[in-house]
Structure formats: structure tokens, C-alpha cells
Amino acid sequence: MIQPAGTTLNDLSGQPLDCLIVGGGPAGLTAALYLARYRRDVLVVDDGASRAALIPESHNYPGFSDGISGEALLDRLGEQAEQYGARRLRGRVEALRREGGLFVAHSDGKSLHARRVLLATGIVDDSPDLPDLEYVIERGALRYCPICDAYEALDKKIGVLGRATPAAKKARFLRTWSRDVTVLATDAPEPALAAELARTGIKTMAGVAGLTREEHRISVRGINGEMHEFDVVYPALGCQVRSDLAREMGARCDDIGLLLVDDKQKTSIDGLYAAGDVVSDLHQISVATGHAAIAATAIHNGLPGNPR
């Protein structure tokens, strides 16, 4: 059970946690499962905005041949972690710092002390300005990740929205699944780029004035008033990486804010680990859970032993 915000964790006041996990998506919950099974005292603080919760039905997560919704997967992961003693708290970690040998996190007026911290805070996609965003995502008319779900868009009429260069990259990738792919450029594409796209069978629409939702499709209005309908639109608008807690502590990251980690998922700050979308641009549940297994094992091995 997720403890609601404001819960007093009296039992945390004396002993520091072995590990505080910030973020309760697939990465954070998997790490909690592993650490709980390593018989570590672990708490997940999560403010309830997992990207996975937006997944209507995933068909590429191994083991679920009939597909599974993101919400159902999160529920299962949370229950499995709790079964072994992991605790979960609804709330936002607002600040993190080192004090002596411990980390101190601030969340909703509470101070949480921990020997290790795992950040599994993910990213937030930049989305088009479109009414009923959740509805179009739920219906599969707006999709974010071709690796995840382009198979479900097989032979559909697909638009890729964004600046010409990143949109072209995503459009080329999408040609594996459809002959009908259009770059919906929000800027003016270089003629050489448009020509190169045309040679690979990709159309270009230069200048997008707005998007509207139709029943099952998305209409795109060009700057000259022309309208085009698409079965599926993939934004290529970028994202915000939620790595600020680590960056404020001086952790190294790349030019878009992804945290740089070693082969055990450790950031450049001793004792601070990171997993999932916050460290990788291969935004996949399997990647997040793989990172989590590596990080949790390294955290356990690096803590003082806990023999029976």
C-alpha cells in the first residue's frame, strides 16, 4: 500500500534507511524489490507521474504475450516489492544533500536519512498543444516511442511532429513499419533534407499551425490553412530530464541532462545511483528494470554486510 503524503514515518526517525529510492516507476519499484529481497531497509518516495502509467497497453515487455497496461504493470511491481518489505510513500522529494556519511532528503516537511540513494525519476515528454492529450494517447493516436509501439502502427498513416532534423530522424526509423510517413516540421526544413527524405519515400509538411483531435485520428493544420489527417502522430519535441536533484548536488550529466553513470549505475557522486529513463535515451521498461537490478545489487554489495 502506498502511504499517502503527510504520513509520519516514525520508524524512520532513529535508523537511517539503507536506501532511499526517489521515483516509483518500473526502475524504482524493481530496485525496491531487489533491495527488499537483499533484506535491506528501503523506502520508495514517488509523486505519481510515471511515464509507464500512460501506456495503454504494452506489447513489447517480455512475458506478457497478450499485452499489459502500464498501470497494471506498476500495480504488480509495487505489490511484489511490498511483499518483501519495501515501503512506499506518496510525495515529492524536493531537495537532497549529503550530511556526514548520509544523504538527507526533504519531502513534504519530512527529513529522510539514507546511506544510499537511487534516483529513478525518469523524464517528462514535451507534448504538442492538443486538447484531450490523455484521450489521444489512450487511443493510440498520439504515440511517443516507436521502439515501444510502432508495430501497432503498422501500415498506418503516420506524422512525426517537431523540428525538421529530429523529426526526420524519427521518420526514417518509422519507415520500417509504414510507407506513409510525413515529417510535420515546425520549422523550415533545409531543401537538401526535404530532398533526401523524398528519396526515402518520406513526405514533408513545412510549417504546422496546430493539431486537433478527430474521433480516432489527429488533424494537422498547415500554416497556409491546409488540413491533413493522420492515424498516428509521433512527437519529436524532446523531453525534460528529471535529474535536478542530482545536478544540484554536482552530479555529472550529458547535454540534455541525462545522468552519467558507471557500469554499476553509480553517478559521479559517491553513494548516489541512478536508473531508468533519467540515465538512458533508450526509454524502455526492460532497460529501466535492468538498470535497477544492477544498481540494487551494487548498492547491497557496497553496504556493510547484513548476515543472518
Type of residue at 124: V
Q: How far is the CB of 106 from ligand FAD (least distance, A)?
A: 10
- Asked if residue 55 binds ligand FAD (CB under 6 A), the reply is yes
Residue 291 is given by DSSP the state: H
Residue 16 is given by DSSP the state: P
C-alpha–C-alpha distance, residues 27 and 62, integer Å: 15
- Asked if residue 27 binds ligand FAD (CB under 6 A), the reply is yes
Q: Which of residues 5-24 bind ligand FAD (CB under 6 A)?
A: 22-24
Q: How far is the CB of 191 from ligand FAD (least distance, A)?
A: 33
Is the dihedral angle over the CA atoms 92, 98, 87, 284 positive or is it negative? positive
Q: Which of residues 231-270 bind ligand FAD (CB under 6 A)?
A: 242, 245
Return the ∠ at Cα 284 (arms to 204 and 189), rounded to 5°.
15
- Asked if residue 87 binds ligand FAD (CB under 6 A), the reply is no
Q: Would you tell me the crossing angle of helices 26-37 and 285-302 to the nearest 10 degrees?
A: 30
Q: How far is the CB of 189 from ligand FAD (least distance, A)?
A: 26
- Asked if residue 54 binds ligand FAD (CB under 6 A), the reply is yes
Element (H, E) at 183: strand 181-185
Q: In 10 A of CB 151, how many CB atoms?
A: 12
Question: With respect to ligand FAD, which residue has the nearer C-beta, 205 or 293?
Answer: 293
Binding mask 134-173 for ligand FAD (x = CB under 6 A): ---x------xx--xx------------------------
C-alpha–C-alpha distance, residues 37 and 9, integer Å: 21
Question: Taking a C-beta distance cutoff of 8 angstroms, is the pair 194, 174 a contact?
Answer: no
Q: How many residues bind ligand FAD (CB under 6 A)?
A: 40
Question: With respect to ligand FAD, which residue has the nearer C-beta, 48 or 201?
Answer: 48
- Asked if residue 48 binds ligand FAD (CB under 6 A), the reply is yes
Question: With respect to ligand FAD, which residue has the nearer C-beta, 151 or 210?
Answer: 151
Question: With respect to ligand FAD, which residue has the nearer C-beta, 164 or 167?
Answer: 167
CA 232: distance to chain centroid? 21
- Asked if residue 285 binds ligand FAD (CB under 6 A), the reply is yes
Question: Taking a C-beta distance cutoff of 8 angstroms, is the pair 121, 245 a contact?
Answer: yes
C-alpha cell at 30: 524493481
Q: Which of 61, 177, 230, 234 binds ligand FAD (CB under 6 A)?
A: 61
Q: How far is the CB of 3 from ligand FAD (least distance, A)?
A: 13
Binding mask 88-117 for ligand FAD (x = CB under 6 A): ----xx------------------------
C-alpha–C-alpha distance, residues 40 and 37, integer Å: 7
156-164, 178-186, 192-200, 280-288 -> range binding ligand FAD (CB under 6 A): 280-288
Beta bridge partners of 205: 184
> Which residue in 173, 177, 139 sits closest to 55, CA to CA?
139
Q: Which of 17, 19, 41, 51 binds ligand FAD (CB under 6 A)?
A: 51
Q: How far is the CB of 238 from ligand FAD (least distance, A)?
A: 14
The residues near 181 (Cβ < 8 Å, ≥ 6 apart) are 158, 159, 160, 171, 174, 175, 201, 202, 203
Q: Which residues bind ligand FAD (CB under 6 A)?
A: 22-28, 45-52, 54-55, 58, 60-61, 92-93, 120-122, 125, 137, 144-145, 148-149, 242, 245, 276-277, 283-286, 288
